[in-house]
Structure 1
Amino acid sequence: MADSGGSSEPSRMRYDVWRCPECGHEHPKNNPPCDRCGAMRLERVEVTEDDFESELETPSFLDLVAENPLPVVAAALVLSVAAVAVLAGSGVFVLSDPFGLGYRYGAVDAIEPNDDGTFTAGEFRAAVAEDYRVETVRYSGRQLELVYETDATSNEAFTGEVATVAELYARYAASGGEAERLRIVATSDGNRVGRLTVESSWGREFASGDISREAYLSRIAETAGR
């Protein structure tokens, strides 16, 4: 009769497989050649539960970092840049040229124009706001975007609004403004009703007298809806 006070270890699952020493492929029988690499010798190997447990263990985050440092660091950098760009785009702050490529992101606050010889994006916003209800002015890469609510009830009136904005932007471009272009977005009752683009090079040409006001506005009109 067995000793009732004793304890015995539970039986652990184990079985034999035939493993190819060349490629590691396992076979249920000793039947060379290896069906993966063609090797003519197979070795008998005992497989236990411990082998399964080691294979099923999930590596920790630190293990992954240690084994794949470059991909992990690159992924973290991409996520960080994306988060900063989202915050800047929502107006939390201005992100100024983070990659040295002339890109900026973020909302522009209005600044009262002065006579210091420059006309900044903030002064541009304040000047536009003297005549129109500005919803936002923000950097988006290499361009400025102006969103304002139009009061125009005719094409002629809308053209007059665009002309005012374009002339102010020409002043910004001529004074060394960093943006390459201005995207004008006009809204009415929350709906977008017009979209035009002003290239900074056009603004500088107009400011220097190289092109007429009519030619300047004609170029802008051709970008409608783009």
Structure 2
Amino acid sequence: MPTTLIFGGSGKVARQLTRQLVAQSHTVHSIIRNPTQVSEIQSLGAKPVVQSIEESNVSQLASTIKQCNPEIVVWSAGAGGGNPERTKTVDQEGAIKSFDACTEAGVKRYIIVSAVDVRDRNKNSYPEWYDEESKKRSDSVWDRIGVYMEAKLQADRNLRIQNGQRELHYTIVRPGGLSNEPGTGKVAAGKVGLGTMVSREDVATVVIECMKNDGTVGLAFDVVGGETPIQQAVKEVVDAHVDTFEGQY
């Protein structure tokens, strides 16, 4: 089974992802910042790597990737949105360093957990599939956590625009509002509205389905709560070649 390296392994989505991957006999390496979390990560069945994304340069991150020797790298790190400076250094600059580190380490498959509605609001009006409620929610989110959304935009934009140089086999998973409720195994994916929260457990399952479905390479798609089984939802995104970030950056 594949070996996966997770950036931001102590996060709630990352923990759900770790549990599921380990249950499927994957080897999981998990980069965390705080050494006090080592035992928790080990209890999930992962191999913790204590390293600061903020303080590490590209070559240091690449060295860690080489040591772990993963087939797949998942970015699920974040500063939590509370500190604007750390949001930029982790969610934006840290993510970009990880893109370059994967290239230096020779790892191609890369999945980033981003966020729904990440887009250049100066360039575009609302996505055409947004209803009035989604537009209101979009404005509210950007008013409250605009620094975070802008950091995610710059990271996703860099991944997309600079990939001709890196040639990563990337997928951008863009979940909506997150809950800690148990997963249902069902979502709505692709061009969706912003109204329905999605459980972190289901987001982790979507990431794993992207690992299994090579048709997701090069795509960015939104995920919220819904009624479509996750495998089918991802397949429908692939079959329709849905890309919700296209034209939004």
Q: Shorter-chain TM-score: which interval? A: under 0.3
TM-score of the superposition, structure 2-length normalised?
A: 0.24
* Structure with the bigger percentage of helix: 2
Question: For the pair shown, which has the larger CA radius of gyration, 1 or 2?
Answer: 1
TM-score of the superposition, structure 1-length normalised?
A: 0.26
The higher-RCO structure (CA 8 Å, 6+ apart) is 2
